[in-house]
Structure 1
Amino acid sequence: MTRQGPLAQRLSAAVRSATAVETSGIEPIPADEREGGPGSSFTLWFSSNVQFSSLTSGMLATAAFGLGWAQALLAIMLGAAVGAAAIGVTSTFGPPKGVGLLVQTRLPLGRRGAALPAVLVFFKACAWFAVNSILGAFAVRTLLGTGFGPAFALVTVAQVAIALVGYGFIHLVQKAMALVLPLLFVGVSLYGYTESDLGSGFDPAKAGPLGFVGAFALVMAIQAARALSFSSYAADYTRYMPVDTPPGRLFLYAFTGTWLGSVWIASLGAAIGTLAFIGTPTDLVGQVLPGALATVTMLALGISTITSSCLDCYSGALAWLIAGVRMARWQAVLVVGGLGSAIGWFAGQGDYWKSFENFLIVLGNWIAPWLAVMLVQRFLVTSPDAEAPRNFGPGFAAWLLGLLAAVPFMSQPGVFVGPIAERHPALGACAAAVAFLTAGLVHYALARRTRTGATPRTGTPRTDSPEEIPA
């Protein structure tokens, strides 16, 4: 029997630790179980954004909204920076308390008030699981030549399996994919950038009543919404890190990973959008890519959707528990996987593009005011000994008022168009920004008026009941 060297032993121990099934739920992670460093946030968010939905969101900029590629690139960079900043900041919420951000939502919104965003995150996670499962199934079907059913089953089972093992395994998979995915995407990147029309200009016919300003703002909003939708998850993947993890470094790693992955793949999508309007991964084969490159690209797209959607399955399960449902974490993972698979199966039989744009924009409308409340609470309001209200806190009212303020600016054609967006289409991309600013200002005003200084907790809380977990 060959003896392992020190390095091999450490690697072996790390792999065993990462592949052990996670037993924790939403309770605080004890100090003696904390490990890992901020660098893992780079690989997690980079890998999660190197995927087909990033490609398609960038493609909208040129193929649907008429921006030239350079104009689209600038809008993508700016929008992705907003979303990446949100993920960077919310990643720093995990180490100090050892719980996810939705648990901490109880402090400003109250214990009952926090249940509503938890339910919304649960359904958002199921929806993203469905979207990515469809995309992954298209890629696997093209790669293996199977029907949609077997390909869809392969993708969904893989996503659920990763989430079932849990936190450590997710980080291990994302570290591996941070090395593999760039190698697999380099071919399509070279082809896409060299064969596309990078000198294309603005097309007013595609932009329609939006005009250039409206189209540019909408592309920024879509890119920001993509990353913003992940921000409710971010602390889930840092809650095992030591309490003294430097927040500045954690922000930088999470921001950089998110921004680089988003800008690379979305700008590639914008480049391909100057050649053709791609509805599914299959269309890349038929309309853009040559044979061997198409095969490698399908492999990359299939893998990337799995590595992204396992986050939706894992964090959606935690949200379900935070909403007050009493079950084990692994059972909640199966709930998300089952519901997301059902949605994806039926949606996969129809037109994927039909609601993708509206889906991305809607995500930002309710997440933006919630994020504003959390940021104000964390950096401007919180007392060290603050305790969550039993029912509803001032943040709940601020969140709802932020949403209401955004309604006139909302623009989801075919679903709802607010009066301001209808009269001034270019302002239809401002809904999330209006919601964010309104909720933040209202919460700051309300919280400072109602803060009385809560009595610190003195005993050890029970960890088997969501109602007893500290905010």
Structure 2
Amino acid sequence: MTSSGPLARRLSAAVRSATTVETSGVEPIPADDREGGPGSSFTLWFSSNVQFSSLTSGMLATAAFGLGWTQALLAIVLGSAVGAAAIGITSTFGPPKGVGLLVQTRLPLGRRGAAIPAVLVFFKACAWFAVNSILGAFAVQTLIGTGFGPAFALVTVAQVAIALVGYGFIHLVQKAMALVLPLLFIGVSLYGYTESDLGSGFDAARAGPLGLAGAFALVVAIQAARALSFSSYAADYTRYMPVDTPPRTLFLYAFTGTWLGSVWIASLGAAIGTIAFIGTPTDLVGQVLPGALATVTMLALGVSTVTSSCLDCYSGALAWLIAGVRMARWQAVLVVGGLGSAIGWFAGQGDYWKSFENFLIVLGNWIAPWLAVMLVQRFLVAAPDRAHDSALDLAPAPDEREPRNFGPGFAAWLIGLLAAVPFMSQPGVFVGPIAESHPALGACAAAVAFLTAGLLHYALTRNRRPRAAHRSTDTSKEIHA
């Protein structure tokens, strides 16, 4: 009794802290309010990737683009590594300043320039909220035998409720799901891998003009884009961590959690895709899984979509505030939930497969150049300026170096995006001239945007680095004086 008493009190205090509604918005988190360790990034990103959208992204590889399972697995491993690396790196941006990545975007893009990616992230979050709400509703609908409307309402309310409580509760839920979801998904994994055709070869008819190289590259791009899209959120879930959180350790936890969850579930989707094309979670019951296993799987899919989509609701709300909208965080959460629910309700009445594919590709096209600008700013441009950075880490006022309107990073981001247009390939929406004449190059748009924006931002800012370093020395002297 004496040994369990203190432990019980600590657990009770931790639960009370995690379930207390968060009052902070996008302002820097003071050092005294920092807590938690890098291990929570593993559970958050692992459980967020164990979900149906990961399954469907993998299924596209075999069922839609004609890859054999081994070819699909290699593409999934590579694409997941790219996306996981982006999440790992951007997770390290949170602890030093105690703010999300979109706030830090103001330095290279300018205060007005940074509002544009913030608005895009807001709408991206609403779109992901809609996608996951549809998938979760299908699962719940199958599980409890109700209509789409009540199932959709149940899923969306649960997602919004978790986001309303905030940062601590999200991490608590994800830690629990990192234990629960593997147990729920183990059955469908064993069945899916053993009953599928893992020796399947390339299907040229399904790949069409893409060919083997084009189909492989497209699967890498889609898989990377799915994880890459969360990189704009990553620092939102590390900004409460102590300033001295080791960046390498944080990167490793975030990368590993993302990569493991993504590869596991996407490769399972690719395996199932060799025997059936699954349009909704309901199809898993009718075409693949036997009764009892189907019930457990529907429960897993319903829970996993809720725990993943609460991130979209939470981070979308922060993006809305960073865009300049004046309201409380909880109000912004309701805006994301309301708009995402409206999109999901109408989209859920039809077939979402082609929209899902295009949605993932479009995400990578604009996020990739933005991420390139942020990485160059952090590791090449701002590296000599860290003494000045440390003086501003917890300053509540905007960074004095932020351009008032548009910074050089905005031009680099925009030009990087424009450079990718000829390579873009969204059939039925837009196909660029290079992608049209060489379909295999249609998966290169995000890579072109990333390289162009990164190189251009470095070229535009490299002459400012000595001046920044000199100023940081002057500032340091003024502080010590």
**What TM-score do you get using the length of structure 2 for normalisation?**
0.93
Shift in CA distance, 186/198, structure 1 to aligned 2, threshold 3 Å: same
Q: Contact 1:102–1:118 (CA<8 Å) still a contact in 2? A: yes
Q: Distance in 1 between matches of 2:349 and 2:89?
A: 38
| Cα deviation, residue 3, structure 1 | 10
CA RMSD, Structure 1 to Structure 2 (Å): 3.8
- The SS at the match of 2:470 is coil
Deviations 1:76-127 (A, max 9, x none): 0000000000000000000000000000000000000000000000000000
Q: Distance in 2 between matches of 1:321 and 1:93?
A: 19
Shift in CA distance, 353/384, structure 1 to aligned 2, threshold 3 Å: closer
Q: Contact 1:35–1:241 (CA<8 Å) still a contact in 2? A: yes
2:215 equivalent in structure 1? 215
Q: Contact 1:324–1:466 (CA<8 Å) still a contact in 2? A: no
| Cα deviation, residue 286, structure 1 | 0.4
| Cα deviation, residue 468, structure 1 | 22
Q: Contact 1:19–1:169 (CA<8 Å) still a contact in 2? A: yes
| Cα deviation, residue 43, structure 1 | 0.1
- The SS at the match of 2:21 is coil
Deviations 1:48-70 (A, max 9, x none): 00000000000000000000000
Choose which of 398, 407, 426 in structure 2 pairs with 1:412.
426
| Cα deviation, residue 469, structure 1 | 20
Deviations 1:180-221 (A, max 9, x none): 000000000000000000000000000000000000000000
Q: Contact 2:69–2:270 (CA<8 Å) still a contact in 1? A: yes
Q: Contact 2:51–2:265 (CA<8 Å) still a contact in 1? A: yes
Shift in CA distance, 76/456, structure 1 to aligned 2, threshold 3 Å: same
Q: Contact 1:87–1:228 (CA<8 Å) still a contact in 2? A: yes
Deviations 1:354-389 (A, max 9, x none): 3111000000000000000000000000x9987211
Deviations 1:413-469 (A, max 9, x none): 001111111111000000000000000000000012355846999xxxxx9999999
Q: Contact 1:41–1:250 (CA<8 Å) still a contact in 2? A: yes
Judge which range, 447-456 or 339-348, deviates more. Answer: 447-456
Q: Distance in 2 between matches of 1:409 and 1:470?
A: 52
Shift in CA distance, 351/56, structure 1 to aligned 2, threshold 3 Å: same
| Cα deviation, residue 6, structure 1 | 1.2
Shift in CA distance, 112/456, structure 1 to aligned 2, threshold 3 Å: farther
Q: Distance in 2 between matches of 1:465 and 1:146?
A: 64
Shift in CA distance, 332/66, structure 1 to aligned 2, threshold 3 Å: same
Count how many residue pairs are aligned between Structure 1 and Structure 2: 465
Q: Distance in 2 between matches of 1:464 and 1:318?
A: 34
Shift in CA distance, 64/116, structure 1 to aligned 2, threshold 3 Å: same
Shift in CA distance, 47/465, structure 1 to aligned 2, threshold 3 Å: farther
Shift in CA distance, 212/14, structure 1 to aligned 2, threshold 3 Å: same
Q: Distance in 2 between matches of 1:246 and 1:405?
A: 36
Q: Contact 1:83–1:223 (CA<8 Å) still a contact in 2? A: yes
Q: Contact 1:386–1:453 (CA<8 Å) still a contact in 2? A: no
- The SS at the match of 1:392 is coil
1:28 equivalent in structure 2? 28
Identity %, equivalent residues? 91
Deviations 1:323-364 (A, max 9, x none): 000000000000000000000000001112131110000000
| Cα deviation, residue 9, structure 1 | 1.0
Q: Contact 1:386–1:455 (CA<8 Å) still a contact in 2? A: no
Shift in CA distance, 400/358, structure 1 to aligned 2, threshold 3 Å: same
Q: Contact 1:27–1:469 (CA<8 Å) still a contact in 2? A: no
Shift in CA distance, 464/112, structure 1 to aligned 2, threshold 3 Å: farther
Q: Contact 2:111–2:406 (CA<8 Å) still a contact in 1? A: yes
Shift in CA distance, 449/386, structure 1 to aligned 2, threshold 3 Å: farther
2:393 equivalent in structure 1? none
Shift in CA distance, 372/455, structure 1 to aligned 2, threshold 3 Å: closer
Q: Contact 1:385–1:454 (CA<8 Å) still a contact in 2? A: no
| Cα deviation, residue 271, structure 1 | 0.2
Q: Distance in 2 between matches of 1:3 and 1:69?
A: 52
Q: Distance in 1 between matches of 2:116 and 2:475?
A: 18
Deviations 1:281-310 (A, max 9, x none): 000000000000000000000000000000
Shift in CA distance, 84/253, structure 1 to aligned 2, threshold 3 Å: same
Q: Contact 1:95–1:239 (CA<8 Å) still a contact in 2? A: yes
Shift in CA distance, 326/470, structure 1 to aligned 2, threshold 3 Å: farther
Q: Contact 2:47–2:304 (CA<8 Å) still a contact in 1? A: yes
Instruction: Please list every run of 5 or more consecutive structure 2 residues that lacks an aligned counterpart in the other structure.
Output: 382-396
Q: Contact 1:26–1:466 (CA<8 Å) still a contact in 2? A: no
Shift in CA distance, 284/468, structure 1 to aligned 2, threshold 3 Å: farther
Map of 1:296-315 to 2, 5 A cutoff? 296-315=296-315
- The SS at the match of 1:469 is helix
Q: Distance in 2 between matches of 1:125 and 1:466?
A: 40
Shift in CA distance, 346/245, structure 1 to aligned 2, threshold 3 Å: same
Q: Distance in 1 between matches of 2:148 and 2:398?
A: 53
2:194 equivalent in structure 1? 194
Instruction: Please list every run of 5 or more consecutive structure 1 residues that lacks an aligned counterpart in the other structure.
Output: 458-462
Shift in CA distance, 246/215, structure 1 to aligned 2, threshold 3 Å: same
Shift in CA distance, 206/242, structure 1 to aligned 2, threshold 3 Å: same
Choose which of 425, 433, 441 in structure 2 pairs with 1:427.
441
| Cα deviation, residue 4, structure 1 | 5.9
